[in-house]
Structure 1
Amino acid sequence: MENVILTIHLILALLLIGVVLLQRSEGGGLGMGGGGGGGNSVMTGRGAATALAKLTWIFAVCFIATSVTLTILAAQKTGSSSVIDQLGIPAADAPAPAEAPLGNDLLPPQPADAPLAPPPANSN
């Protein structure tokens, strides 16, 4: 069921892209505006524009419907499990982090921790 809806969804996406690219630019967009095509078309320029606009709306509504359907199917499939549950690591067996005193790693070494002899000087 999910594969069928996913296939329809992908076909709708391709059809939607195609229909949008077929539409004539009405200026102000990325294109330079549509030129007047030849007069040999079956439909007039305005009739083709409204038909493509209606087709775009139909494909868009169907695309959104398949998107929502796929989301619902995916949510039902996962249920209330999380990614941690899928790893198979029980949460109770995880070791608790050891509490370290705050700030000890940020302080410079104390004189008692300093080396007794100074480092040897370079003889270059």
Structure 2
Amino acid sequence: MSTVLLLIHLMIAIALVGIILLQRSEGGALGIGGGGGGFMTGRSAGNALTKTTAILATCFFITSLLLSILAGRPGGTPTILGPAGEGGLAPIEVPAAPPTSQAPSAPPPTAPPAPAPAAPQTPQPPQSQ
């Protein structure tokens, strides 16, 4: 039921976008578009595109409400977003790594420290005997 309603909703949305793009601009946006005439002239009052837009918009709102009601019912179509037990899929549980009984391994051997630089030797006076 919800799949059929969703497909109808998508077709209405596509038709609504197409009908809106077919309409002529009434002006007022950045000073471009149609000019002259009043707000409700005979041309705009009974325009077929305007009536079609209103009908499609009403159908769009009705299908939106029906889809939201169907999504909120318990036992509805399972989704990945809902929690388990309320129509959603159960979360995936990743098993934990088994505990190791070994002692932690020793750190890797390091190179022996470099010998300290020799201190500069000062010449000693010769010793006499």
Unaligned runs of 5+ in 1: 36-44, 90-122
Change (3 A) 1:31 1:71: farther
- Percent of aligned pairs with the same residue? 49
> Is 1:87 matched up with 2:88?
no
One of 72, 75, 93 as aligned partner of 1:75: 72
SS at match of 1:82: strand
Residue 32 of structure 1 and its aligned partner are, at CA, apart by 2.6
CA 1:24–1:7 in 2, change beyond 3 Å: closer, same or farther? same
Distance 1:48 1:20, change over 3 A: farther
Equivalent residue, structure 2, for 1:58: 55
Higher relative contact order (CA 8 A, sep 6+): 1
Normalized against structure 2, the TM-score is what?
0.50
Matching residue of 2:27: 27
Unaligned runs of 5+ in 2: 36-41, 94-116, 118-129
Cα displacement string for residues 13-48 of structure 1 (whole angstroms, at most 9, x for unaligned residues)? 01100111111101112683148xxxxxxxxx9269
Higher-Rg structure is: 2
Q: Distance in 2 between matches of 1:47 and 1:27?
A: 13
Inter-partner Cα distance in structure 2 for 1:23 and 1:30: 17
**Cα–Cα, structure 1 residues 30 and 71, in superposed 2: closer, same or farther, change >3 Å?**
farther
Alignment RMSD (CA, Å): 3.9
Matched positions, count: 87
Change (3 A) 1:31 1:54: farther
Report which of the two has the higher share of strand.
Answer: 2
In structure 2, do the counterparts of structure 1 residues 31 and 57 end up closer, same or farther at CA, with 3 Å as the change threshold? Answer: farther
